[in-house]
Structure 1
Amino acid sequence: MIKLNESIHVPNALEAVFTYTSDFSNIKDWDPGVAVSQKRSKGGAQVGSTYDLTLCFGPFRPKMEYTITAYKPFSKVTLNGRGESFRAIDTISFFKTPTGTRIDYEAQIYFPGVSKHMEKILTPVLKNTGRKAIQGLEAKLSGENRMYKQSSCFFSGSNGFDYIADHMILPGMLMFSKLGYSLSKRFWAEKNETLFGKKVVITGGTSGIGKAAAIKLAGKKACLTIIARNKKKAEQVQQQIIEKTGNPHVDFLIADLSRMEDIKQVAKKLKDRKKTIDVLINNAGALFNERNETIEGFEQTFATDLLGVFYLTELLKDSFPSTGGRIINVSSGGMYTQGIDVDDLQNEVVPYAGSKAYARAKRGIVILTRLWAQQMRYSKVAVHSMHPGWVDTPGIETALPGFHSRINSVLRTPDQGADTIVWLAASNEAGESTGKFWLDRRPHETVLFPKTGESEQARQRLWTKLNLLTRRFEKA
């Protein structure tokens, strides 16, 4: 349970304040998180009065129902609220003062299935939201011209819910978690678009999110090639996908994507076999808790999660047909915490931290996505990056056991994490734009915190360094 407490003082008479505030059909006028509030029951406010609320979450309009459970005129009103994935008990108390009325507001909010650790993350965010609501009530009753709403709804539009969610770490719960996935899914228009006959290449498709995506892609009738490191595992997954989907057009190639020579060879095989590629999905990645170097002399995280992605994409970007195609780069929400350090790409200067190195590489993937989108803007190839949210995979459990154990109750399934990858590959909508960063089929901001963004000069320096590091393999 999360508990909120706020208190305000207004210069109005007690009776008028109570009458206005206890009628929850007025809440839309002072709570910036409410778009619509309608009284369902007849008569004045009383025990049993029920209100239907529509909340503001960008394009989303989740519903909530409030019912008055206690009503003491000019003293106290208690309401019980129920939403899709939470419930609340709001108690509003009123006190006459020599100069007006004091209002005490208390809310108890329950998120079934959310761990105590996650409640600690949510508490400061929800306290801020409650504070904004009660300040809105204070402004309304006092007749002050304060503006707490944006576009008539605090959470509306491109600067609304996505901005609030991104900037207040709320996506960690409502967006990165399975709760956020469930909320988003309710507003999708399912069109069941297929990939019939499309040649799709996915890296890291033998486990976790990649395997889930591969199954979905094959289910959409794609001609699928999986790039994997382990041949035995690739054979097993190939058969599983064919048996599960009935699609026989599933094959694989073997390469260690931390090795540039392997990438060079697998790219040549793809060009020889496929001739053209319609969709390239750079999904493979790994988090290493200790700093190691590959046999080619590159730091392992950098090589696997950034340099290898750059090299494979550069080798294949002329393989798309003139009718267009898609490049989908799988990043991570962790990239929000880090900027790119072009002078320390291989994590040599500061003490090595696996999660930080991983986040930096995933930040680099987002930067490359933007650069490729600019370079290919006239080619009909859409280039997007995405992150799958917090997903329960063997990789997360192994690399971040503490994190996994604390929040495993709200982690997404691999299928949920893979959804946006497949949607970006198949949907017509995703092909109408380029260079965006997606979560749950919606574009999001890429820079939230100070010093995590980069200049245009830094982007170009990153490109130049990656190009120089891979160029020597072209000469071999």
Structure 2
Amino acid sequence: MQHRPNLIILRVLGFLSILSGLNNVAIMTIAVFDLMLKYYKSWPFYRSTAEKVNTHKKQNLIQGRPMIILKESIHVNRPIESVFQYTSDFANIQEWDPGVISSVNPNPGDPQVGSVYDLVLKFGPFRPKMVYGVTALDPQARVVLNGKGDNFNATDTITFVHTLSGTRIDYQADIEFSGVSKSMEFLLAPVLKCAGKKAMAGLRKKLNPDHGTARHNTWFASGSNIMDYLADHTILLGMLMFTRFGYAIGKRFWARNDQILYGKRVVITGATSGIGRAAAMKLAEKKADLTFIARNREKAIKVQQEIIDQTQNPHVDFLLADLGVMADIRRVAEVLIRSRSPIDILINNAGALFNHRGETAEGFERTFATDLLGVFYLTQLLRTAFTRSGARIINVASGGMYTQKIDVDDLQNTHQPYDGTRAYARAKRGIVILTELWAEQLAGANGVVHAMHPGWVDTPGIKTALPEFHSLVHPILRTPEQGADTIVWLAASKEAGKSSGRFWLDRRPHETIVFPTTGESPEERQVLWERLNRLAAQGDLDDVGALCGKPGLTD
């Protein structure tokens, strides 16, 4: 077994020699490899490897595929017109693919069928050449290029899909080797796949302009640190962090949140009890101009007076609306917009867990209407009222969303027996998805969007909706003030304004997907957005397409 690396080295040397045109060296290397192969082919390790390779080859031949197929997808925050124009022109490829040194079009101009590009590649110390030609081109939809090198052919198919916040690029490269290099395909596949990932990462970086939204230097796209990542995926440890003990641990590492919100206009929903009330109290203490949206007039008047008395902040008012009724939401939004006072911070806190299925007056399932559709509709309507000087949207989700995948074909929970906890968790999963979509849309518009979950909090809603759970874990539940802390921090801190689209617990970003089966595809995101837009308009009997189509911030 100690000679196994020698076989690999010989194969690589042979391949590099082929690419660089050193055919004599290549032939000698392959010849030596063949001799060693005859000697080692009886080894169990080599028989096993050969069987896997032969099986892979047979499968590809049966399916009519080339030996190596590379597939990658990226999303960029640019319109499809400019993305297609740049990417389809392979004269630009050396700007984003680190494996290409140069690309020259002998007849410069917009790409079209028949356009040719002469490429010089970088492969270690060697500089192989290849020629690409455009064989098919559908403007703003697809381009196909065939490439030829000395010992391999490649067909690159690039498709472009318009999304809510930009463009998705799907890239597939079919690579087929010929001659003696064909025997090395299985060895080169992982190397080429790695190169493909780097190329697409380069394309994403080139097409996504720097919006000045800083990202933490972490190992994970979510911004999570290694300890939180491990805790989230350990499940039981992650659940422990939802309790008052998790809050106490996290608090030990915090800096003081001394930022003042003087003159900032804050709109918060669900502020008459629990987490929302605690958040409203802290925001008023920070001198925010606070408007809260409530359903019950008597409770709203009482809470308003309590906030004013305890904080000595007279700038507290309220509006009445049932946030599960789209007509109410539009009415409240119109009042806020007509006030001509730009909104600096919108906090979507209102939510409810219903143990029995019911419908609103507009015919929507209550959990879906209140916890997802209403949040979507209110936020979309108020986007024209956001300030340009750093608007923030904060969406309150739940740790329960970790257990559920969004079902875009059953948003109103009709396809199976109703389960209030599941319906609530699915709606909160939808909130996290919307947070990421809004973050993409508002990138570059000086606005940030975050989701958070407060942990397990002792609130009237939990006690009523989940009495058994409340009774079991009551001693370790957080207080409403502890649950509201991250909401207030996201509203006030400078740190929260440096990133967007994240999911927070105790002032730290966390993963949004722990179980792989709970993730959604880009297509499902698109469907979710379109159906929410349509259903909100249907409920309100008014066309909201103009409001929900594009991001827009006012001066």
Please give the TM-score of this superposition, normalised by the length of structure 1: 0.66
- The 8 Å contact of residues 440 and 501 in structure 2, kept in 1 or not, is answered as yes
The answer as to 2:410 corresponding to 1:344 is yes
Q: Aligned residue for 1:65?
A: none
- Quote the Cα distance in structure 2 between the aligned partners of 1:471 and 1:398: 32
Q: Pick from 445, 451, 458: which aligns with 2:517?
A: 451
How big is each residue's C-alpha offset from its partner over 1:215-236, in whole Å with a ceiling of 9 and x where there is no partner?
0000000000010000000000
RMSD, aligned CA? 1.2
TM-fit CA distance, 1:160:
2.1
TM-fit CA distance, 1:173:
4.2
For residues 385-424 of structure 1, the aligned pairs below 5 Å read 385-424=451-490
Structure 1 unpaired stretches of 5+: 1-156
Q: Aligned residue for 1:70?
A: none
Q: Aligned residue for 1:67?
A: none
How big is each residue's C-alpha offset from its partner over 1:332-359, in whole Å with a ceiling of 9 and x where there is no partner?
0000000000000000001100000000
- Quote the Cα distance in structure 2 between the aligned partners of 1:330 and 1:158: 18
TM-fit CA distance, 1:320:
1.3
The answer as to 2:336 corresponding to 1:253 is no
TM-fit CA distance, 1:364:
0.2
How big is each residue's C-alpha offset from its partner over 1:356-392, in whole Å with a ceiling of 9 and x where there is no partner?
0000000000000000000110111110000000000
Q: Aligned residue for 1:201?
A: 267
- The 8 Å contact of residues 454 and 486 in structure 2, kept in 1 or not, is answered as yes
For residues 67-466 of structure 1, the aligned pairs below 5 Å read 158=224, 160-466=226-532
- Quote the Cα distance in structure 1 between the aligned partners of 2:237 and 2:318: 35
- Quote the Cα distance in structure 1 between the aligned partners of 2:318 and 2:381: 18
SS of aligned partner of 1:297: coil
SS of aligned partner of 2:278: helix
- The 8 Å contact of residues 217 and 422 in structure 1, kept in 2 or not, is answered as yes
The amino acid across from 2:445 in the alignment is: S
| Higher helix fraction (1 or 2) | 2
TM-fit CA distance, 1:273:
2.0
- Quote the Cα distance in structure 1 between the aligned partners of 2:237 and 2:436: 22
TM-fit CA distance, 1:475:
3.8
The amino acid across from 1:252 in the alignment is: F
TM-fit CA distance, 1:171:
4.6
Q: 1:159 to 1:442 in 2, by over 3 A?
A: closer
The amino acid across from 1:370 in the alignment is: E
TM-fit CA distance, 1:323:
1.3
- Quote the Cα distance in structure 1 between the aligned partners of 2:509 and 2:420: 27
TM-fit CA distance, 1:324:
1.9
- Quote the Cα distance in structure 2 between the aligned partners of 1:259 and 1:470: 9
- Quote the Cα distance in structure 1 between the aligned partners of 2:291 and 2:224: 37
- The 8 Å contact of residues 347 and 357 in structure 1, kept in 2 or not, is answered as yes
TM-fit CA distance, 1:269:
0.6
- The 8 Å contact of residues 224 and 508 in structure 2, kept in 1 or not, is answered as no
- Quote the Cα distance in structure 2 between the aligned partners of 1:294 and 1:274: 31
- Quote the Cα distance in structure 2 between the aligned partners of 1:171 and 1:423: 24
Structure 2 unpaired stretches of 5+: 1-222, 545-555
TM-fit CA distance, 1:159:
5.7
- The 8 Å contact of residues 257 and 489 in structure 2, kept in 1 or not, is answered as no
- Quote the Cα distance in structure 1 between the aligned partners of 2:446 and 2:483: 27
Equivalent residue pairs, number = 320
- The 8 Å contact of residues 458 and 480 in structure 2, kept in 1 or not, is answered as yes
SS of aligned partner of 2:537: helix
| Larger-Rg structure | 2
- Quote the Cα distance in structure 2 between the aligned partners of 1:310 and 1:380: 20
- The 8 Å contact of residues 173 and 179 in structure 1, kept in 2 or not, is answered as no
The amino acid across from 1:168 in the alignment is: T
The answer as to 2:541 corresponding to 1:468 is no
Q: Aligned residue for 2:57?
A: none
- Quote the Cα distance in structure 2 between the aligned partners of 1:269 and 1:171: 45
The amino acid across from 2:438 in the alignment is: W
- The 8 Å contact of residues 171 and 180 in structure 1, kept in 2 or not, is answered as no
- The 8 Å contact of residues 224 and 509 in structure 2, kept in 1 or not, is answered as no
The amino acid across from 1:405 in the alignment is: S
